[in-house]
Amino acid sequence: MKSINKSTLLLISTLVLIAIILPYLMVHISYLIAPMLILVLLTLFFVSITMVNYQTGMYLVFIYGCLFSLLSRLLGDMIPYGILYDLIILLTFIAMVIKVKSQKGFLWKTSEPIVIIQFIFYSYFLLQIANPNSVSIMAWFDAARFIILFLLFYVFIHLFKNKESIKNFTNLWILSGLIVAMYGVFQEYVGFRNFEYQWLTADPLRFQLYHIWGHIRIFSTLSDPSAYGLFLAFTGTGSLILAIGPGSFSKKSSYLGAALIMYFGMSFSGTRTAYAMILIGTVLFIIANLRNPKILIASFVLVMIFVILMVGPFYSGPINRMRSTFELSEDASMYVRDAKRIRLQSYVKSHPIGGGLNTAGNEGLRYSRGHPLAGFYSPDSGYLRTALEMGWIGLLIVISLNTAVVIKGIRNYFYLKDPQLKVYSMVYMVPFLGLSVAHYTQDALYQKPINILVMATFALMIKLKDVDTTLEGDA
């Protein structure tokens, strides 16, 4: 029998020691000791593989973005989950820069309007530190984390180097959306786990907001019902377009089934804006395919289903809430939001550079107490928040960026030669258009993990042409 060498003996002794000490610490200190240890080990593991392969880091960012709210409810506030999210993006960006410098070099893409407008926006964002209307420098520093999204954009610029990389990320996105939807359905029919219900009832105001018409709005693994509903509307629409596009019958059936499950799960979120997103995206897709009989037939079926749901003699909480989305004249909450916008318009008109970052509403109370915009309210609209904090100049830049992305997506669809790449252009751009419209009623564009998909859309609209050219050259 061979003798055990010193390294093996040391490893066995360490594992035995951990097996003895860990249960003792969990009993006498906290049961969270084990999850924290596992989290530390996983962190070290993922840091290592990210530095070796930044693509893996990008997938990790997206998966973590879908799960960190669930982790925060399970583990409490022991970890700065939002900061960890930013750090993973930063680490992935660093790994990407190291990788590309040893190959072809960094791709700036500064001739693209989407990139030019982003440089203008983030430069303007940085200059907000000197906004004379601001009352707190710390408010700007907290908001400055937003710049991490620009790094994420460039990670996607380098990630989408061929059709395979686009397909892999898209499938990860759709699969994640399917899992999030299924967990939402689980919450609806089985119920919340103890730690979720404790989190829900810990704040009476939160419970009041989530409890509507005798039903608790579902949030699944995401931060709130709104983020859950918008994410599934975005992902479900992308999956539906993949089902209509080219591919085998089995793939089309899989994407269609995933889309239906996501729409079903979305219905329990109580987020009416999500229904509007789907309608806007569907209308654009139909207009872009007026010459395609197959897509027109599929669209006609979808329209008929929508009409039946709107006027059919059946009622439920989700269906009633969907119908109320398109009855704006009778919507009290929409009336309140419009009144709020009208009340704040005078400030926007008189402050072209805005009141400063993190000054409006509840965030203003937290970071900028004493500011005229601070108060016990939420701007609701992402565009309204931008107009209040960055002025009508900042609002104009944001709208210009969103418009440039949609125009680029439409041009891609009509000018690209590869049919699969044409579909990918619509898969990302169509739900983005719906999301950019939804930003009018909610702060929709930059919620986690939707902000990852937004940056992916910006990058993909630019890279599709390069990928198509590469394929033609190879032929």
Same domain, 280 and 344: yes
Same domain, 132 and 60: no
Q: How many domains does the chain have?
A: 2
CB atoms within 10 A of CB 66: 22
Q: Which amino acid is at 86?
A: D
Residue with the bigger pLDDT between 298 and 127: it is 127
With 50 as the cut, is the pLDDT of residue 473 above it?
A: no
**What is the distance between the terminal CA atoms of the chain, rounded to a whole angstrom?**
61
pLDDT band at 103 (very low <50, low <70, confident <90, very high): confident
Same domain, 290 and 374: yes
Q: Is residue 118 part of a domain?
A: yes
Q: Specify the range with the lowest mean pLDDT, choosing from 20-29, 37-46, 310-319, 457-466.
A: 310-319
Residue with the bigger pLDDT between 126 and 378: it is 126
Residue with the bigger pLDDT between 303 and 157: it is 157
Q: Is residue 254 part of a domain?
A: yes
With 50 as the cut, is the pLDDT of residue 156 above it?
A: yes
Quick check: helix, strand or coil at residue 375? coil
- pTM for the model stands at 0.88
For the segment 208-235, the average pLDDT, to the nearest whole number, is: 92
Q: Which residues have a Cβ under 8 Å from the Cβ of 72 and sit 6 or more positions away?
A: 79, 81
Domain end marker among 104, 132, 157: 104
Q: What is the pLDDT of residue 63?
A: 94
Q: Which residues have a Cβ under 8 Å from the Cβ of 31 and sit 6 or more positions away?
A: none
pLDDT band at 377 (very low <50, low <70, confident <90, very high): confident
Which structure tokens are listed for 333? 């909450």
Residue with the bigger pLDDT between 126 and 442: it is 126
With 50 as the cut, is the pLDDT of residue 1 above it?
A: no
Q: Is residue 15 part of a domain?
A: no
C-alpha 49/C-alpha 57 separation (Å) is 7
Same domain, 180 and 114: yes
Question: Which backbone phi and psi does 3 adopt, to 5 degrees?
Answer: -75, 150
C-alpha 106/C-alpha 20 separation (Å) is 50
Can you name the residues that pair with 212 across neighbouring β-strands?
215
For 288-323, write each residue's pLDDT tens digit.
Answer: 887 777 777 776 776 676 666 666 556 665 666 555
Which structure tokens are listed for 122? 């983030």
Same domain, 167 and 70: no
C-alpha 380/C-alpha 274 separation (Å) is 15
Q: What is the pLDDT of residue 13?
A: 72
pLDDT band at 22 (very low <50, low <70, confident <90, very high): low
Q: What is the pLDDT of residue 380?
A: 84
Domain end marker among 49, 81, 104: 104
Q: Is residue 13 part of a domain?
A: no
For the segment 219-241, the average pLDDT, to the nearest whole number, is: 95
Q: Is residue 286 part of a domain?
A: yes
Q: Specify the range with the lowest mean pLDDT, choosing from 99-108, 184-193, 219-228, 408-417.
A: 99-108
For the segment 343-357, the average pLDDT, to the nearest whole number, is: 94
Q: Is residue 6 part of a domain?
A: no
The string over 208-245, giving b where at least 16 C-beta atoms fall within 10 Å of a residue's C-beta and e elsewhere, is eebeeeeebbbbbbbbbbbbbbbbbbbbbbbbbbbbbb
With 60 as the cut, is the pLDDT of residue 208 above it?
A: yes
Q: Is residue 16 part of a domain?
A: no
Q: What is the pLDDT of residue 326?
A: 57
For 136-148, write each residue's pLDDT tens digit.
Answer: 999 999 999 999 9
Contact at 8 Å (CB) between 436 and 406? yes
Q: Specify the range with the lowest mean pLDDT, choosing from 31-40, 227-236, 256-265, 412-421.
A: 31-40
C-alpha 79/C-alpha 87 separation (Å) is 13
- Looking at every residue in the chain, the average pLDDT score rounds to 87
Number of residues in the chain: 475
pLDDT band at 183 (very low <50, low <70, confident <90, very high): very high
Same domain, 127 and 225: yes
With 90 as the cut, is the pLDDT of residue 449 above it?
A: yes
With 50 as the cut, is the pLDDT of residue 124 above it?
A: yes
With 80 as the cut, is the pLDDT of residue 8 above it?
A: no
Domain end marker among 87, 104, 121: 104
pLDDT band at 233 (very low <50, low <70, confident <90, very high): very high
Same domain, 71 and 126: no
Same domain, 205 and 288: yes
Q: Is residue 12 part of a domain?
A: no
Same domain, 427 and 374: yes
For the segment 371-398, the average pLDDT, to the nearest whole number, is: 94
Same domain, 55 and 175: no
Tell me which residue range forms the domain holding 349.
105-474
Same domain, 265 and 361: yes
Q: Which residues have a Cβ under 8 Å from the Cβ of 339 and sit 6 or more positions away?
A: none
pLDDT band at 49 (very low <50, low <70, confident <90, very high): confident
Q: What is the pLDDT of residue 318?
A: 62
With 90 as the cut, is the pLDDT of residue 128 above it?
A: yes
Same domain, 56 and 117: no
Quick check: helix, strand or coil at residue 315? coil
pLDDT band at 242 (very low <50, low <70, confident <90, very high): very high
For the segment 454-461, the average pLDDT, to the nearest whole number, is: 98
Contact at 8 Å (CB) between 255 and 242? yes
